[in-house]
Structure 1
Amino acid sequence: MQIPLEIAFNHVAPRDDIRALIAEKITHLEKIYDGIISAHIQIRAPHQRQQTGNLFSVTVELRVPGKALIVRKDQDDADRHEHLRVVLRDAFAAMELELKRWKDAIQGEVKFHDGPLQGRVVQLDKARGFGQILATDNRLIYFHKNSVTDDSFDGLALRDTVELVVQSDESAIGPQASTVRRIGALSFDPATKPSRR
């Protein structure tokens, strides 16, 4: 991680064994995605119960490029939340799922309905002959004027909807379109969550 792990204990006495357990869980998450920027863990025991002990609550926050992934496992009436290690296990298991989903989405591994990929032009540099498209799978795709069909690059404008083919080999600047064709309105809004097959 770029920033050292932060652990906050609120109304809970700090414990070295819990710190070691959290460090082990973070190491496991870094094996899933090695670009984690920072991790902040908050452990709370907000309710004091006289007969059966404290109910713990854990928040795990990971910063990854462009996003914060947050999982909260709050106390409830379940007796298992009296055991801090169990609450930590549940919170980190949920964060592992979140991290895998996010990683799959940025790598384009989420599968969408059949049909050509569509998007909207969000950047145009006509002087230098390139632009960027926000695709319906929420990726930002670079394109060069030579990839625009019918030599119609000069006719493109911001917010135009296009159909595109993305090269299978990603370049140093990220995903790149090999073919871009202007079309009518998008069939769905890229701001909405993509459908999974």
Structure 2
Amino acid sequence: MILPCQITFRDFSPSAALAELIQKKADKLDQLFDHIIGCRVVVEAPHRHHHNGRHYHIRIDITVPNGELVVGRDPPEKAAHQDAYSAIEDAFDDAERVLHEHARKVRRDVKRHDGVSRARVKKLFTEQGYGFLETRDGREIYFHKNSVLNNRFHKLHIGDEVRYAEEDGDKGPQASTVGVR
């Protein structure tokens, strides 16, 4: 992170323990995506409910090249006695998801969902729980038994025609879903 993390507490006394937790979480974000310019975190206890205690609002603004990512964590409507620590944990979990998505877009590594296509089962490794499809244009697509709909992996045979949705996997194209006809 180029700029130090800025932490603001509103409507309650600042806490060194909360500030330390926020800094630790911000450092983790910086490890996930090394192009973060700055991070601003606001922890706010807007009002106190007579029956439910304080409900904390967390806002995280992450400055990245060409933009800003904003994460807000409002208290759930019926949460009783939500503490600031759990609100911060939840907000930073959301920030991690937003940052992962942003990093994928920056890398142009967005999952490809070209719709449903047809292919034939080319290879099956039933003991290991995976196989390969052959597309109409001759490409080979990996699939795992967990991507076969309705738990029908065991019903597949070489040569069966299936429907599939393709995405980019770690080692090349893979079928995210496989529908047995």
User: TM-score surpassing 0.5?
Assistant: yes
Residue pair 2:52, 2:81 contacting (<8 A) in 1 also = no
Provide the aligned C-alpha RMSD in A. Answer: 1.8
Residue pair 2:36, 2:63 contacting (<8 A) in 1 also = yes
Equivalent residue, structure 2, for 1:79: 79
> Deviation above 6 Å: which 4+ runs of structure 1?
none
How far is 1:49 from its partner?
1.8
What is the alpha-carbon distance in structure 1 between the residues aligned to residue 104 and residue 52 of structure 2? 42
Equivalent residue, structure 2, for 1:140: none
Query: Aligned ranges for residues 46-195 of structure 1 at < 5 Å?
Result: 46-79=46-79, 82-112=82-112
Higher strand share: 2
Instruction: Give the residue type in structure 1 aligned to 2:28.
Output: H
Residue pair 2:52, 2:80 contacting (<8 A) in 1 also = no
What is the alpha-carbon distance in structure 2 between the residues aligned to residue 89 and residue 62 of structure 1? 16
TM-score computed with the length of structure 1 as normaliser: 0.55
What is the alpha-carbon distance in structure 2 between the residues aligned to residue 38 and residue 75 of structure 1? 25
Instruction: Give the residue type in structure 2 aligned to 1:86.
Output: S
Q: Gaps spanning 5+ residues in structure 1: where?
A: 115-195
Q: Gaps spanning 5+ residues in structure 2: where?
A: 115-165, 168-181
Residues 39-67 of structure 1, C-alpha deviation per residue, up to 9 Å, x if partnerless? 00001111222343211110011001111
What is the alpha-carbon distance in structure 2 between the residues aligned to residue 104 and residue 44 of structure 1? 31
Residues 74-103 of structure 1, C-alpha deviation per residue, up to 9 Å, x if partnerless? 123333662111110110000000000000
Corresponding residue SS for 2:102: helix
How far is 1:35 from its partner?
1.3
Equivalent residue, structure 2, for 1:40: 40
What is the alpha-carbon distance in structure 1 between the residues aligned to residue 78 and residue 60 of structure 2? 20
Aligned residues: 116
Equivalent residue, structure 1, for 2:30: 30
CA change 1:2–1:54 in 2 (3 A) is: same
Percent sequence identity is 27
TM-score computed with the length of structure 2 as normaliser: 0.59
Residue pair 1:81, 1:87 contacting (<8 A) in 2 also = no
Instruction: Give the residue type in structure 1 aligned to 2:4.
Output: P
